[in-house]
Structure 1
Amino acid sequence: MRFLFFGLLALLCLPLQAQSWQERLAQPPAGSQVALYVQPLGQGQLQVAHNADLLLPPASTQKLFTALAAELALGDDFRFDTALEGLGHQQGNSWQGDLRLRFSGAPDLDRPQLVSLLRALKDKGITRIQGDLLLDGSAFGGYERGPGWPWDNLAVCYSAPASSLTLDHNCVAASLSLENQGTRFYVPPHQPVSVTSKVAAVSLEEQQRRQCGLMVDRGPANHYHLHGCVTDQRRLWPLNFAVNDTGAYVQGVLDQELGRQGLRLSGKIRRQDRAKGQWQPLAVLHSKPLGKLLAHMLADSDNLYADNIAKTLGRQSGLAGTFALGARAVRTTLKDKAGITLAPATLVDGSGLSRDNLVSARDLGAVLAFLAAHTELASYQGLPLAGISGTLKYRHSLTSPPLKGNVQAKSGTLNGSSNLAGYFTAASGQRYLFALMTFGLAPGSDEEAAQRQLTDFERELLNALYQAG
C-alpha cells in the first residue's frame, strides 16, 4: 500500500500535459467561429486548413493585401507630391493672379511641410498674392469615408477621412479634464476647430446605472459637441477627433499660417478642382518613399495610410481615386503580378475598417506565401514582431516565450473580430506561415473576462502549434 500511495502521489505531482492544437482549436471563445490556416515554408510537416475558406471580416489584416499590391504596382520609391502652382506672374513682391495647392492624398503631410511651401513664396520675394488661393483635391473622388464604416466611430481618429486633402493625419488632439465636480474641454488654440461640451462626471456606479458614455456629435465646418458622461475615476481624458470637413480644416490652417509668414492674400482660400489655365510650378513637396510609408502603415496599423494608398492605386486607371477603384486595383494587381486570385472575397476599402470586407484565412495565406518568397519587400519587413514592435508589442497573448520575438504578424481587430496573420518558427526550427481568424466575439456583461478568454485561447493555440511544428 505504501508503494501504491507514493506512486499515486508522484503522478499527481507531474505537470498537466499541454493540450494539442486540435484540442485547443475545438474550444474556441464562447459563441465564436475560428478559421486557421497553417503551411510550412520549408520541410515542416504541420499543415492545417480548418474553416480555411470561410469568409470572415479581415479587419486590419487586410492591409497585407493593400501593402503588397501598392508595392508591386507603384514601387518602393513612389512618392506623393504636394505642389504649389501659380496662374499669372510675379511683379515685384506681388503675385498677380491665383495660386493653388494641388494635393495628392500624401498621408504624412503635416503643417510644417505645408509652411515650407508658403516659405518658398517668400524665397522668391513674394509677400502679396493678388488673387485667390485654390485647394485642388481632384486626386480623389467619391466619399471620404468607406462603405460599412460604423457611423458612431466617425469622430475618432482611426476613422479619419481618406481625403486628397490630408493634413496632420486629419486628426486633432484634445483633452477633457475633471474640475470642481465638472468637466472642462481643451483644444489647442492653433487648431481650426470649435468644440462645445456638456459632459457630466459621475461615479462608476452611476454610469452603470444610467448606461451613459461620452458621445460626440459632428457639425459643419469642424464643430463638435460633446455630451453624455465620464466616470470620476480619472482626472484627464485624452481625446483625438477625426477632422469632419477636410477642406475647412486645411483652409483654417492656411489662413493662420499665411498671417504667421507675413503673406497677404487679397482674395479667398477656396476649394476648386481642376482649374483651367497654364499653371506654373512654384514649389513641390515629396512624401516619404512608399516603402517607409508601408512600414509605418503595417507597424502601427494606420487606417488613413492604407486607404489613401489604396485610392492612389485606383488613380492609376486615369480616374480620380475612390474606395471602389482602389479595391479593384488591389485585386487586379495581386492577380496579375502575384498570381493571387481573391475570389469570392469582398474588398471595399484599403484599411479593413469596413464591416463589408470578407476574406478567408486561405486568402491571407496566399499573400503570406508570396511575401515569404520575397522577403526583400517592405510589406514583409514591416510586419511587427511579437512583444517587441508595433501593434504586437503589447498583445498579451504574445508577450511571453516561445512566442515573444518569434511571431512576426499583422494583427486585425474589429468589434467581434480578432485576427493574426504572419509567421513563426516552431520548436523544430521549421518556419511556418499562419492565418488565425476569430469572429463572433461577444463581451456580454463582463468585457474583461471575455478578453482574457480570447487571450488565453490565442496564446495556448499558438503555443500548441509551436510545439507541433
Structure 2
Amino acid sequence: MRHFLPGLLLTLFSPLLLAADWQTIVQERPAGSQVALLVAPLGKGKLKVEYNASLLLPPASTQKLFTATAAELVLGDDFRFETRLEGRGHPQGGQWQGDLRLVFSGAPDLKRDDLADLLASLKAKGIRSISGDLFLDGSAFDGYERGPGWPWDNLGVCYSAPSSSLTLEHNCVAASLDAGKPGSQARFYVPPHQPVEVKSVVQVVSPEQQQQSLCELMLDRGPGNHYQLHGCVTDERSVWPLNFAVNDTAAYVQSVLSAELSRAGIHLDGRVRRQRQPGKPWPQLAVLRSAPLADLLKEMLEESDNLFADNIAKTLGRQGGEPGDFARGVRAVKAALKDKLGLTLNPATIKDGSGLSRDNLVSPRQLATVLDYLAQHQEMAVYQGLPVAGLSGTLKFRHSVTRPPLKGNIKAKTGTLNGSTNLAGYFTGASGQRYLFVLMTSSLSLGDDSDAAKDRLTAFERQLLLSLYHQG
C-alpha cells in the first residue's frame, strides 16, 4: 500500500486547499529533506518568494542553464562543430599515396553514417586504397573524459558517456536482455555491428526472490570496450533494454572506421592510429559540419543530455587556443556569465558542464539571475529550448505537472540526481501574470519503499506549484 503525508493527501482531493500558502506546504516536505525556493514576477505580478534562496544545493541538470547560456552568448547560434578529413600526400592511380587524418572536434551529434559519408568522398575522387596510415586527431580536448565527482558505479551507463573529442554515436551502445522464466539465464543481445564485447551471466528471478536476495544487475568495465554483466533481473519484463557507455572512445572509433573502410571497399595498407597532440594542418579533402548550436542546445535542454553539455562546455574552454577540458570549460562558462550577465558564481562549486558531478553546488538566486536574463531575451535558443510541462522533453511525463492548470503552463529545466530534484523556469499565475521560479529539493531519501517515497515527492511538488499558481 502506498502512503502520503496527511496534509498532502487532503490537498489531492480538496479544491479549497489548492490555494494553501506555500509556507504551509513547505512544512510538509518529505521527511529530512531541504527545500529552497525563489519566485519573482516578470511584470506586475505581486507574488515574491525567497526561501533559502542563497542556500547552496546540488543543481543537477539545472546547471545546463549556465552552460547553454554561456555557449550561445560566446559561440553564437550558427556555430557548428567540424569533423575534417585531411591528407598528406597525393592520389595516384586510384590510391592515396601517403597518410590521411580525421580531425575530430567533439561534435556531439556525429553519427556512423557521417563517417561513411566522409569515406564516400574518397571514393568519389576515385580512391580505392590508402598506402599510409589513417590518424584520428582527438587533440581538441585534453584531460579526463569523465568529470570530477561523477560516481564510479554509473560510468557504464549512457547518461555518463565519456566527454571526448572522439565522440561518435553519442559514445553509447544499445543492447538488451531477454528474460525467461525464473531460474533461467537471461539472453544478452547487442547489434553485431557494434565493436564491443560483453560477457553476460545474468540470472532471471522472481520479484520476491529479488527482494529476498537483494540481487541486482551489475556491470563491470574491463579494458577497451569489454564488459561483464552479472547479477539478476526479474521476470517483470520480457525484455530489459540496456545502454552501455563506451569505455574506450579511441578503440571504439578505430573499430568503427575499420569496419566502414571495409564496407566502402577502401583498402588501408597502414593502421588506424590515435593522434593525441595537434599537428600542422594538412590539406583538407572533406569536412562535415554539425547541426547549428541553436539546434544542439534545444536537444541538450529538452532531453537533458549530459554529453552535449560537457562537450559544449569543453568547446567553450578551447576558445582561448588551448585544448578543452572540464576545468577550462568551467572557467569559460563563469567568465561569460560574469561578462554578459554580471553574474559572479561565488560562492558556488561547478566541476562540469552538465551538472552530473556530485560536487556541484549553486543557489536558487544564481539560477534565477540566468532565468531573468533569458526572460528579457526570449529570442535566444536557450529560452526557446526549455521543456514545457506535459508536452515536451523531460517535463512531458513529470507526474507533478502533467495535469491542468500546470500542463502547458510551466516552461522549465529539470534537474535530478540521487537525493535531489529541481525545477528552474517560468509559469503564468492564475492572475495572468508571468513569473520565474527556482525550486530545489535536496537530501531526499527513497527509503525501503521507493514507490511510496516517489508518490510523496510528486504530491509535494505538485501542491507547492499549484499554490504558487493560485497565489500568482
Mark yes or no: TM-score above 0.5.
yes
The one of 450, 459, 462 aligned to 1:459:
462
Does the aligned pair in 2 maintain the 1:87–1:278 contact within 8 Å?
Answer: no
Pair 1:255 & 2:263 matched: no
Matched residue, 1:102: 103
5 Å-filtered alignment, 1:164-179, equals: 164-179=165-180
Does the aligned pair in 1 maintain the 2:40–2:436 contact within 8 Å?
Answer: yes
Matched residue, 1:88: 89
Residue identity in the other structure for 2:460: F
SS of the equivalent of 2:179 reads: strand
Residue identity in the other structure for 1:170: N
Q: Residues of 2 paired with 1:411 and 1:15: CA distance? A: 27
Encode CA deviations 1:254-298: one digit per residue, 9 max, x unaligned: 111100000000000010134645611000000000000000000
Does the aligned pair in 2 maintain the 1:425–1:466 contact within 8 Å?
Answer: yes
Matched residue, 1:223: 226
Does the aligned pair in 2 maintain the 1:87–1:277 contact within 8 Å?
Answer: no
Pair 1:361 & 2:368 matched: no
Encode CA deviations 1:416-441: one digit per residue, 9 max, x unaligned: 00000000000011000000000000
Matched residue, 1:371: 374
Shift of 1:14: 9.1
Pair 1:383 & 2:409 matched: no
Pair 1:295 & 2:298 matched: yes
5 Å-filtered alignment, 1:159-198, equals: 159-179=160-180, 181-198=184-201
The one of 248, 271, 276 aligned to 1:273:
276
Relative to structure 1, is the Cα distance of residues 56 and 277 closer, same or farther in structure 2, using a 3 angstrom cutoff?
closer
SS of the equivalent of 1:182 reads: coil
Matched residue, 2:405: 402
Q: Residues of 2 paired with 1:361 and 1:403: CA distance? A: 21
Shift of 1:233: 2.0
Aligned-residue Cα RMSD (Å) equals 1.2
Matched residue, 1:74: 75
Q: Residues of 2 paired with 1:114 and 1:61: CA distance? A: 33
Q: Residues of 2 paired with 1:154 and 1:448: CA distance? A: 25
Encode CA deviations 1:293-328: one digit per residue, 9 max, x unaligned: 000000000000000000000001211100010011
Shift of 1:179: 3.8
Encode CA deviations 1:165-213: one digit per residue, 9 max, x unaligned: 0000000000011246221101000000000011111111111111110
Does the aligned pair in 1 maintain the 2:22–2:467 contact within 8 Å?
Answer: yes
Q: Residues of 2 paired with 1:310 and 1:408: CA distance? A: 23
Relative to structure 1, is the Cα distance of residues 275 and 36 closer, same or farther in structure 2, using a 3 angstrom cutoff?
closer
5 Å-filtered alignment, 1:422-441, equals: 422-441=425-444
Q: Residues of 2 paired with 1:60 and 1:242: CA distance? A: 19
Residue identity in the other structure for 1:226: L
Matched residue, 1:140: 141
SS of the equivalent of 1:108 reads: coil
Does the aligned pair in 2 maintain the 1:85–1:281 contact within 8 Å?
Answer: yes
SS of the equivalent of 1:221 reads: coil
Relative to structure 1, is the Cα distance of residues 34 and 241 closer, same or farther in structure 2, using a 3 angstrom cutoff?
same
Residue identity in the other structure for 2:253: V
Residue identity in the other structure for 2:365: R
SS of the equivalent of 1:197 reads: strand
SS of the equivalent of 2:40 reads: strand
Residue identity in the other structure for 2:163: A
Unaligned runs of 5+ in 2: 1-12
Shift of 1:16: 4.3
The one of 221, 241, 253 aligned to 1:238:
241
Encode CA deviations 1:10-68: one digit per residue, 9 max, x unaligned: xxx99643321121122211110000000000011111110000000000000000000
Residue identity in the other structure for 2:80: R
Matched residue, 2:320: 317
Unaligned runs of 5+ in 1: 1-12
Q: Residues of 1 paired with 2:269 and 2:436: CA distance? A: 60
SS of the equivalent of 1:224 reads: strand
Q: Residues of 1 paired with 2:177 and 2:142: CA distance? A: 35
Shift of 1:234: 1.6
Q: Residues of 1 paired with 2:369 and 2:134: CA distance? A: 48
* TM-score (ref. length: structure 2): 0.95
Does the aligned pair in 1 maintain the 2:313–2:333 contact within 8 Å?
Answer: yes
Matched residue, 2:17: 17
Q: Residues of 2 paired with 1:465 and 1:426: CA distance? A: 7
Q: Residues of 2 paired with 1:258 and 1:224: CA distance? A: 26
* TM-score (ref. length: structure 1): 0.96
Shift of 1:235: 1.4
Does the aligned pair in 2 maintain the 1:62–1:352 contact within 8 Å?
Answer: yes
Relative to structure 1, is the Cα distance of residues 23 and 337 closer, same or farther in structure 2, using a 3 angstrom cutoff?
same
Encode CA deviations 1:338-374: one digit per residue, 9 max, x unaligned: 2111111111100000001100000110000000000
Q: Residues of 2 paired with 1:296 and 1:437: CA distance? A: 23
Please tell me whether Structure 1 or Structure 2 has the larger radius of gyration of its CA atoms.
Answer: 1
SS of the equivalent of 2:24 reads: helix
Matched residue, 1:152: 153
SS of the equivalent of 2:86 reads: strand
Q: Residues of 2 paired with 1:272 and 1:113: CA distance? A: 20
Q: Residues of 1 paired with 2:28 and 2:128: CA distance? A: 70
Encode CA deviations 1:376-423: one digit per residue, 9 max, x unaligned: 000000000000000000000001111000000000000000000000
SS of the equivalent of 2:379 reads: coil
Shift of 1:101: 0.4
Residue identity in the other structure for 2:436: L
